[in-house]
Amino acid sequence: MIPILIESDLFLAAIKKEDRLKPVAAKILQKIDSGEVKGAYSSTAAIQETIFWFYNRQLFDKLTQAVNFLTHLQHLKWISLTPEICTVATLLMGEYHLAPFDAYHVATAISMDKTIVSTEHVYEKVKGIKKIEPVDFAKNL
């Protein structure tokens, strides 16, 4: 399988108590964790975004569990934010009016393979990025 960025909406869907994508997200992440899906990676910004999601909802009792879940996924490569990724993200924010975390994810994907698994429609407007819906990705597993 080719390298592919797993975006934070998939992580949150798997972690949240209820989410319409929970079964799909769980399937994808289980296949990554087991090594059946090769080449999966994510930006460390996804961990930060998850932390903010729980913090903003004051779900402090679930925060450590959520971060532990993410950081212990086997066979998922974490790509750190670099000055270059941050610079590209800033340019993407200006050109495409992306929110900061969306821009970090796109910039990370640009540095790798330009493919993102996500429900976020904002990625469809970014030239050169291929967005795959999680449901479609899961069907091929």
Whether this prediction's pTM lies above 0.75 is answered by yes
pLDDT at position 58:
96
Please state the rounded mean pLDDT for residues 7-29. Answer: 96
Q: How confident is the model at residue 140 (pLDDT cuts 50, 70, 90)?
A: confident
**pLDDT band at 2; cut points 50, 70, 90:** confident
- Residues 130 and 73: their CA atoms lie apart, in Å, by 24
pLDDT at res. 1: 66
Into which CATH architecture does domain 4-139 fall? 3-Layer(aba) Sandwich (3.40)
Label each residue of the chain as H, E or C: CCCEEECHHHHHHHHCCCCCCHHHHHHHHHHHHHCCCCCEEEEHHHHHHHHHHHHHCCCHHHHHHHHHHHHCCCCCEEECCCHHHHHHHHHHHHHHCCCHHHHHHHHHHHHHCCEEECCCHHHHHCCCCEEECHHHHHHCC
| pLDDT 10s digits, 83-136 | 999 999 999 999 999 999 999 999 999 999 999 999 999 999 999 999 999 999
The pLDDT, as a whole number, for residue 31 is 96
